[in-house]
Structure 1
Amino acid sequence: MPGLILGEQPDDLTVAVEQIILSSSESDYLDRLIPLLKNAQTQTQVTPLIHALSHVSADRETQIERICNTNHQEFISSVQQLQSVREGTVSLTSEIMELSHSIEASTEKLAEQKKALVDSRGVRQNIDDATQALKDCLEVLRLANQVHDLLGKKNHYAALRALDELQNVHLREITRYKIADMIERSVPATQRLIAEAVMTDLNTWLFRIRETSQFLGEVAFYHTEMRRARQKERAEQDQYLGAAKLNSAVELVADESEEFDVLNNEEVQVDFSPLFECLHIHDALGQTDKFRADYAATRRRQKDLLLPQSLNLLDEESNGLSSLLEGIAGFAIVEKATMAKTENFRAQADVDELWDSMCQSAISLISSALHTVDNDDKLLKIKGVIALFIQTMDSWSYSVSSLDGLLLTLFDKYSSLLKKRFSDDFQEIVSTDDYMPMPVNDADEYAKVINVSWYTPPEDVPPLEKMEFPCVLPFSQMYPLVCIDIRNFLNQIYLFTDDHFKHTNVIDQTLKDSLDELLVNKVCQSLTDRLKSQYPGQIVQILTNVDHFEQACSELEGLLVEARSTASAAGPIKLQATQKFKDAKTAAERRIFELVNSKIDDLIETAEYDWTSTWVPDSVSLYMQELTRYLSNIMSSVLLGLPYSIKDMIYYTALQHIGESLMVLPLDAAGPRISNQAAHAFVLDVGHLVSFVQNLDEGDRPQVLIEALDELRQTTDLMSLAAEGKGEAFFDVSISSKRFPKVDKIKGAELLEKVETSGGIGAASQAPSSPVVGNLGARTEGHMHKPSVIGDFRDRLGQIGKRA
Structure 2
Amino acid sequence: MPSAVDSGDDLYSAVKQITQSSSDSDYIDQLVPVMRDVRYSDRAGHLIQALNQISAERESEIERMCNSNHQEFVSSVNSLLRVREGTVDMTTQILQLNQSIQASTENLAAQKKALVDSRAVRQSIDETSEALNACLDVLRVANQVRDLLLEKNHYAALRSLDELQNVHLKEVGRYKIAEMIERSVPATQRLIANAVMDDLNTWLYRVREASQYLGEVAFYHTDLRRTRHEERMQQDEHFMKFKLNSAMDLVADETDEFDIMNNEEMQTEFDFSPLFECMHIHETLGRSDYFRAEYASNRRKQKDLIIPSSLNLLDDDGSDLSSLLESIAGFAIIEKATIKRTNNFRANVDVDELWDSMCQSMATLITNGLPLVDNDDLLLKIKGRVALFMLTMEKWGYSVKNLYDLLVTLFDKYSDLLKQRFSEDFQEIVSTDDYMPMPINNLEEYDKVVNVSWYTPSQAREQLTFPCVLPFSQMYPLCCIDIRNFLNQIYLFSDDHFQRSTVIDETLKNSLDELLCEKVCQSLVERLSSQYPGQIVQILTNLEHFEIACQELQDLLFQARSSGSATGPVILQATEQFRNAKKTASDRIFELVNSKIDDLIETAEYDWMATRPTTETSNYMQELTRYLSNIMNSVLLGLPTDIKEFIYFDALSHAASAILELPLHESVKRITPAAVTALVTDADFLSSFVDSLNNPILKENLDELVQTVALMATDNSDEFFDMTQRNRKYSKVDREKGAILIEKVMEGAAVAAQTPSRPSDRFGTIGSRFRMG
Q: TM-score range by the shorter chain?
A: 0.7 to 0.9
For 2:637, what is the secondary structure of its paired residue?
coil
Q: Is 1:609–2:606 an aligned residue pair? A: yes
Paired with 2:257 and 2:725, the residues of 1 have a C-alpha distance of 98
Structure 1 residues 387-786: aligned runs within 5 Å = 387-458=387-458, 461-463=459-461, 465-501=462-498, 504-567=501-564, 569-696=566-693, 702-720=695-713, 722=714, 725-731=715-721, 733-755=723-745
Which is worse superposed, 387-396 or 159-168? 159-168
State the Cα distance separating 1:624 from its structure 2 match: 0.9
Q: Is 1:292–2:292 an aligned residue pair? A: yes
Match of 2:281 in 1: 281
Q: Work out whether residues 243 and 496 of structure 2, in 8 Å CA contact, stay in contact via their aligned partners in 1.
A: no
Match of 2:383 in 1: 383
Residue type of the alignment partner of 1:711: E
1:272-303, CA deviations, whole angstroms, 9 ceiling, x for partnerless residues? Answer: 22111111111111111111121111111111
Paired with 1:727 and 1:225, the residues of 2 have a C-alpha distance of 96
Match of 1:310 in 2: 310
Residue type of the alignment partner of 2:708: T
Match of 2:364 in 1: 364
Q: Work out whether residues 500 and 561 of structure 2, in 8 Å CA contact, stay in contact via their aligned partners in 1.
A: no
Q: Work out whether residues 543 and 578 of structure 2, in 8 Å CA contact, stay in contact via their aligned partners in 1.
A: yes
Over 3 Å counting, the alpha-carbon distance change for 1:390 and 1:273 in structure 2 is same
Q: Work out whether residues 547 and 585 of structure 1, in 8 Å CA contact, stay in contact via their aligned partners in 2.
A: yes
Paired with 1:360 and 1:375, the residues of 2 have a C-alpha distance of 24
Residue type of the alignment partner of 1:744: D
Which is worse superposed, 601-610 or 235-244? 235-244
Over 3 Å counting, the alpha-carbon distance change for 1:677 and 1:183 in structure 2 is same
Which is worse superposed, 374-383 or 159-168? 159-168
Paired with 1:578 and 1:467, the residues of 2 have a C-alpha distance of 30
State the Cα distance separating 1:440 from its structure 2 match: 1.5
Structure 1 residues 253-268: aligned runs within 5 Å = 253-265=251-263, 266-267=265-266, 268=268
Over 3 Å counting, the alpha-carbon distance change for 1:740 and 1:236 in structure 2 is farther
State the Cα distance separating 1:730 from its structure 2 match: 4.1
State the Cα distance separating 1:316 from its structure 2 match: 0.6
Paired with 1:473 and 1:740, the residues of 2 have a C-alpha distance of 46
Correspondent of 2:244 among 243, 246, 249: 246
Q: Work out whether residues 313 and 369 of structure 1, in 8 Å CA contact, stay in contact via their aligned partners in 2.
A: yes
Q: Work out whether residues 500 and 562 of structure 2, in 8 Å CA contact, stay in contact via their aligned partners in 1.
A: no
Q: Is 1:349–2:349 an aligned residue pair? A: yes
Which is worse superposed, 466-475 or 144-153? 144-153
State the Cα distance separating 1:668 from its structure 2 match: 3.6
Q: Work out whether residues 693 and 706 of structure 1, in 8 Å CA contact, stay in contact via their aligned partners in 2.
A: yes
Paired with 1:422 and 1:215, the residues of 2 have a C-alpha distance of 39
Over 3 Å counting, the alpha-carbon distance change for 1:738 and 1:237 in structure 2 is farther
Paired with 2:389 and 2:732, the residues of 1 have a C-alpha distance of 78
Q: Work out whether residues 387 and 500 of structure 1, in 8 Å CA contact, stay in contact via their aligned partners in 2.
A: yes
Q: Work out whether residues 508 and 568 of structure 1, in 8 Å CA contact, stay in contact via their aligned partners in 2.
A: no
State the Cα distance separating 1:731 from its structure 2 match: 4.7
Which is worse superposed, 703-712 or 622-631? 703-712
State the Cα distance separating 1:587 from its structure 2 match: 1.0
Residue type of the alignment partner of 1:748: G
Cα RMSD over matched residues?
A: 3.0
Paired with 1:445 and 1:380, the residues of 2 have a C-alpha distance of 32
Paired with 1:740 and 1:544, the residues of 2 have a C-alpha distance of 40
1:189-215, CA deviations, whole angstroms, 9 ceiling, x for partnerless residues? Answer: 443333223222211110111001111
Over 3 Å counting, the alpha-carbon distance change for 1:414 and 1:585 in structure 2 is same
TM-score, structure 2 as length reference = 0.75
State the Cα distance separating 1:171 from its structure 2 match: 5.5
Paired with 1:175 and 1:449, the residues of 2 have a C-alpha distance of 103
Gaps of 5+ in 2: 1-119, 750-773
Paired with 1:532 and 1:177, the residues of 2 have a C-alpha distance of 115
State the Cα distance separating 1:247 from its structure 2 match: 3.0
For 1:217, what is the secondary structure of its paired residue?
helix
State the Cα distance separating 1:528 from its structure 2 match: 1.1
Paired with 1:694 and 1:159, the residues of 2 have a C-alpha distance of 120
Q: Which has the larger radius of gyration?
A: 2
1:355-410, CA deviations, whole angstroms, 9 ceiling, x for partnerless residues? Answer: 22222222222222222212222112112212222222223333333322222222
1:145-169, CA deviations, whole angstroms, 9 ceiling, x for partnerless residues? Answer: 5544444443333333344345445
Correspondent of 1:212 among 207, 210, 231: 210
For 1:439, what is the secondary structure of its paired residue?
strand
Paired with 1:128 and 1:239, the residues of 2 have a C-alpha distance of 92
1:413-432, CA deviations, whole angstroms, 9 ceiling, x for partnerless residues? Answer: 22222211111111111111
Identity %: 65
Q: Work out whether residues 491 and 500 of structure 2, in 8 Å CA contact, stay in contact via their aligned partners in 1.
A: no
Q: Work out whether residues 231 and 242 of structure 1, in 8 Å CA contact, stay in contact via their aligned partners in 2.
A: no
Paired with 1:238 and 1:644, the residues of 2 have a C-alpha distance of 51
Paired with 2:730 and 2:340, the residues of 1 have a C-alpha distance of 100
Paired with 1:174 and 1:744, the residues of 2 have a C-alpha distance of 140
Paired with 2:212 and 2:619, the residues of 1 have a C-alpha distance of 90
Paired with 2:224 and 2:558, the residues of 1 have a C-alpha distance of 32
Paired with 2:744 and 2:249, the residues of 1 have a C-alpha distance of 93
Q: Work out whether residues 245 and 391 of structure 2, in 8 Å CA contact, stay in contact via their aligned partners in 1.
A: yes
For 1:541, what is the secondary structure of its paired residue?
helix
State the Cα distance separating 1:571 from its structure 2 match: 0.9
State the Cα distance separating 1:449 from its structure 2 match: 1.1
Paired with 1:182 and 1:667, the residues of 2 have a C-alpha distance of 136
Task: Give the number of aligned pairs.
Answer: 628
Which has the bigger relative contact order, CA under 8 A and spacing at least 6?
Answer: 2
State the Cα distance separating 1:131 from its structure 2 match: 9.8
State the Cα distance separating 1:596 from its structure 2 match: 0.5
Gaps of 5+ in 1: 1-121, 759-804
For 2:269, what is the secondary structure of its paired residue?
coil
State the Cα distance separating 1:574 from its structure 2 match: 1.5
Q: Work out whether residues 312 and 369 of structure 1, in 8 Å CA contact, stay in contact via their aligned partners in 2.
A: yes
For 2:663, what is the secondary structure of its paired residue?
coil
Paired with 2:339 and 2:716, the residues of 1 have a C-alpha distance of 113
Q: Work out whether residues 384 and 499 of structure 1, in 8 Å CA contact, stay in contact via their aligned partners in 2.
A: no
Paired with 1:135 and 1:476, the residues of 2 have a C-alpha distance of 111
Q: Work out whether residues 612 and 672 of structure 1, in 8 Å CA contact, stay in contact via their aligned partners in 2.
A: no
TM-score, structure 1 as length reference = 0.73
Structure 1 residues 132-211: aligned runs within 5 Å = 144=142, 146-169=144-167, 187-211=185-209
State the Cα distance separating 1:671 from its structure 2 match: 2.3
